[in-house]
Amino acid sequence: MNDNLTAAAPGAAARPAARGPRVLGGGAARAQYVEDLLGDPFADGNPHGQRALLAADERREAPAATEELLGRFGLAAEFVPRPLGGRLAGVEELAQVLRPVFRRDVALGFGAGMTALFAASVVWAAGDGRQRRDTARRLLDGGRITILHREFVHANAILRGEYSARPAPGGGYVVDGRKEVVINADRADAFVAYVRTAPGDGPDSHSVFLLETGRLPAHAVHRLPRARTHGMRGAHYAGLDLQQCPVPAGALVGKPGEGIHLSLRTFQVSRALVSGGALVGGMDSALRYAVRALGESRRGLVLGGRRGRVLAGVFADLLACDALAVAGLRLLDLAPEHALVPSAAVKYAVSALLHEDLDELAAVLGARGYDRSPAYGGFQKLVRDLPVAGLGHAGTADTQAVLVPHLRTLAHAARRGESWHEAPAALFTPGVQGGALDFRRLDAEPRDPHHGCDGLLAALLGAAARLDGKRARGRRWAALADLGRAFAAEVHRLVERCVMLAGRPQSMTPSPAAYVLVDRYCLLLAAASCLAVCENAAPGTPDGALLAEPDWALLALTRFGRRLGLEVPEPPDGVAQDLAAGLVDRYRRGRSFDLYGMRLA
C-alpha cells in the first residue's frame, strides 16, 4: 500500500528482522547471552552502559544503539509463541530473559520489548489464525506493536482516555477517540486497542481491535506528539488520535463485547511480568548501587552496622518478592486457568514492598541518591522509573477489583470447613523446567483447582506445620518455626474476618474494611512463597545454599510480620549480619541478587 495514503509509522521497513541468531538453550542460557551482549554497565566505553543510557534518558530518547542490539538478538522473537515461529514458551523463562534488560534500564525493557507482549498476548489469547500469523510476522520482521487500554477508574495520565466504535453501514466499524500517553504510539505499526462498542457499564461494553496502521487511511489517524513523563522518559510515550477511522471487520479480536474478559485474561500475564521482570530487575540494580556505596565509604563495607542491617533486610525482601513473583509466573506456565487471583496478589505485594524498600535504599545512598554521574545516576533514574512502571494507585485499584471478591471465596471455603489443598511444590522451584503458557487457557473467572480453597494460603499453613519438625536443626530453624506459627495464626484470623465481613448485610459498594484485608492477604502470600521456596531449595550450588538456609526467610518474615502489625521478636543474633555477608559475597562474585543468582557482565 502506498505509504502516503496509510498511517504506517515512519521508517517501519528499515528495522532489522528480529529472527535473530540461533540462540539455543533455555531461559537461563538466553538470559546469560543477553547479559553478556549488554556488557559491563560501568565500563566507560560500553555503548550499552550507564553513561550512554543516562544520556539517552536525559534526552528523553530510547537508547538507539541498545535497541538495535536487542533487535539483532531478536528480542521480539521472545514474545512470539514457538508454534508461530518465535521463542516464547513459558513466561518464567521470558522474565528471566528480560531481567538483564530491566536491570540495565527499566524504560528500555518496556519500550524495546515488554509492551509489545502486553499487546500481542491479546492476539495470542483470542486472535484468529490470520491475526496470529500477521502479528507474529510483524514482530519477527522488526515491527512494533503497542497497546491502547480502555480508561481505568481513578485513572492517571497513562490510563486516561479511550476510543469508541460504531458499526459502519457497509460492514466493519468506525472508530473515534484519543489517548495521549501511550508507549511507542509514535513508532508502532500496529495497535491492540480496547474500544468501547456498547454504552453503559456492563461487562460487554468493550471489544478489542487489532489496528494495523498500514491498512488505515492516513487522514483518519493522527499521531500525537511525545508526552513528557517524569519517569520512563525514554519510553516514547506519545498519543494516537482516531477520527472517524474506518476499521475492517477482520480487525476485531475475539467476539464483540469480549473486551473486559480479554483484559481480565491477559492482564494476568502483564502483571506477572511487570512484577517478575521490571520490578524485581529494577530493585536488583537499586540494591547494587547501595552495596557499592557502602563499599566506597571510608570505613569500608560495614556488615554489622545499621546500614548493613538495612541492606540485609532489603535483600531478604527482594528474594521473598522474587519467590512470590516466580510462583506467579510458574503458575501461569503450569496451570493458567488458576492464575487470576494469584497474579493480582503478586502485583499488589511486589509493588508495595519494593517501593518501600527503594526508600530505605535512598537513605543508605544519602547524597549519592541525587548523583547523575554514570556511577550512581542509575539510582535516581530507578526512583523515577519504577513508580511509572507500577502505574501507581490506578494499578493497585485494578488488582483490588480482582482481590476483593476473593475474600468472599475465602469466607465460603472456611464455612465449608474442608481442609485446603496446598499449591504444588512445582511453583516454588525457580528455573526448573516448567510448562509453556497456552494463552488460550487464561481464564477471566477466579478459579482454584479445588473449588474455592486458596492453594497459596494453604501452602503457608503446610510449610509452617512442617517447620515445626525442623526445630531440632538449630536456633535459627526454631525461630523460623515460631514465625511460621505466628503467620499460620494470622491466616486463620484473616479468614475469620472474611467470614465476619461476608456476614454483613449486602451493599452496593464493598466495605473499606475489604481493602485492608486484601492488603494483609497479599503479605501473607508473600510469606507463603518465601517459606515454600526455602523449603524446596536445593543446597547444591552456592546460591541454592543461601536459599536453603533459614536466614533470608527469617529476616523477610520478621519484616512482613512488622508490616502486619504483629508482635514478632528480633531475629536471633547474627542473622542480619550473615545475610549481609551473603549479599556482599554475591556482589563480589558478580551475581544477581534475585533467586537465580546469575552471572553479571
- Cα 145 to Cα 137, 235, 273: the distances in Å are 11, 13, 17
When asked if residue 363 is in the footprint of another protein (CB under 8 A), the reply is: yes
One-letter identity of residue 168: A
Where in 549-588 is the site for another protein (CB under 8 A)? 559, 562-563, 565
CA separation for the pair 432, 314 (Å, rounded):
25
Site for another protein contains 380 (CB under 8 A): yes
Distance CA(385)–CA(521), nearest Å, equals 27
370 binds another protein (CB under 8 A): yes
Q: Is 167 helix (H, G, I), strand (E, B) or coil?
A: strand
217 SS3 class: strand
Contact 460, 557 (CB under 8 A): no
173-183 and 163-167 beta bridge pairing: antiparallel
Q: Is 391 in the site for another protein (CB under 8 A)?
A: yes
Residues 96-155 that bind another protein (CB under 8 A): 152-155
Residue number with CB closer to another protein (425 or 489): 489
Q: Which of residues 433-462 bind another protein (CB under 8 A)?
A: 444-446
List the interface residues with another protein, window 270-299 (CB under 8 A): none
Q: CB-wise, 154 or 599, nearer to another protein?
A: 154
Within residues 225-264, the interface with another protein by CB under 8 A covers: 229-231, 260-261, 263-264
Residue 145 vs 181, nearer CB to another protein: 181
Assess 405 for contact with another protein (CB under 8 A): yes
Q: Is 522 exposed, middle or buried (0-12, 13-18, 19+ CB in 10 A)?
A: buried
Paired residues of 81 in beta bridges: 88
Three cell numbers written together for 377: 545516576
Is the Cβ–Cβ distance between 131 and 121 less than 8 Å? no
User: Which CB sits closer to another protein, 465 or 516?
Assistant: 516
List the interface residues with another protein, window 296-335 (CB under 8 A). 306, 313
Question: What are the start-end ranges of the H helices in 417-550?
Answer: 455-468, 475-502, 512-536, 542-548
Instruction: Name which of residues 489 to 508 contact another protein (CB under 8 A).
Output: 498, 501-502, 504, 506-508
Q: How far is the CB of 325 from another protein (least distance, A)?
A: 19
Contact flag: residue 518 with another protein (CB under 8 A)? yes
Binding of residue 520 to another protein (CB under 8 A):
yes
Which x/- pattern, by CB under 8 A, does the window 341-360 give for another protein?
-----------x---x--xx
Residues that bind another protein (rule: CB under 8 A) add up to a total of: 76
Shortest distance in whole angstroms from residue 230 CB to another protein: 3
Secondary structure element (H or E) that encloses residue 166, with its range: strand 163-167
- Least distance from C-beta 282 to another protein, angstroms? 15
Q: Is the dihedral of CA 85, 87, 92, 96 positive or negative?
A: negative
